[in-house]
Amino acid sequence: MPSTSHPDARTDPRRLDVTDLQRIERFRRAGYGGNVSDALWKCGVTDTVLSADFRPLRQGMVLVGRALPVKVHSLADQDLTPEETMAQEARWEAAGGHPQKQMMRTVASRENGTVLCFDTGGDRQPAHFGEMSCQLAYAHGCRGMLLAGNCRDTQYVLQMPDFPVYSFGTRPNAFGGWIITDVDKPIYLWGHLTHYVRVTPGDFIFADNDGVQLIPEAYVDEVLLQVEETYEVENAERAEIAAGMSVDEVYRKFGVL
């Protein structure tokens, strides 16, 4: 739950009648780590900064979108007999198909603008996601991935036009063993200010060069509006400072920067 450490914390967050793709575009235009964090604090929301272990595949990536949580469970490599393999596939089919297919169906059923968020339970041995899966997710409206594990095929992922990926690292091997156990249910990812950050379906993810943050669903639009207001004010400040405003005048007019 949000804390209320800020004396002017809003209890009536504003809402916008826009699509998630429009939200993403506006966040990317005006947002950066600092003003998103400041807006969250002004809303009374703290402790939603994720671990610095989450890194972009390259600097300059901005990951924004509606969280779609996925829980992955580690498995040791299994040498299944043909009969055991058939039985496993039958169980999956009875439950709606292979767990990865069920995940992709969920992506396809959501409004465009989702971000796949993976809790791997701390497993850092195999690669958990690759380029062809990224392509399929992107084709059905997903706009990036937050992976508490490893990605692979990154030379091809980096050629995709708009699929930012933040992960703990990269690995070439998919073997090692893992299975998707839950989709679209709350997960817990490593935090920076607290041990874990709860990621709930509908929350927003914002990540740039400064790190990854979660915006609780109720505050997404309020944070976006505050970010845009700060962006306009700071652009005016930048222009005046660049024009030669004295130090004393800067602090008189704008306060502590």
DSSP assignment of 16-67: ----HHHHHHHHHHH--HHHHHHHHHHTT--S-BBPTT-EESSTT--EEEEE
- 158 lies in some domain: yes
- 246 lies in some domain: no
Q: How high is the pLDDT of residue 40?
A: 97
- 105 lies in some domain: yes
Range of the domain at 196: 51-206
Of the chain, the end-to-end C-alpha distance in Å amounts to 29
- 216 lies in some domain: no
Q: How high is the pLDDT of residue 8?
A: 61
**Any idea what the CATH number is for the domain that residue 202 is in?**
3.50.30.40
pLDDT in tens, the chain (257 residues): 444 455 566 678 999 999 999 999 999 999 999 999 999 999 999 999 999 999 999 999 999 999 999 999 887 656 667 777 777 777 777 777 788 899 999 999 999 999 999 999 988 889 999 999 999 999 999 999 999 999 999 999 999 999 999 999 999 998 877 888 999 999 999 999 989 999 999 999 999 999 999 999 999 999 999 999 999 999 988 899 999 988 988 888 888 77
pTM of the model: 0.90
- 43 lies in some domain: no
- 253 lies in some domain: no
Number of domain units in the chain: 1
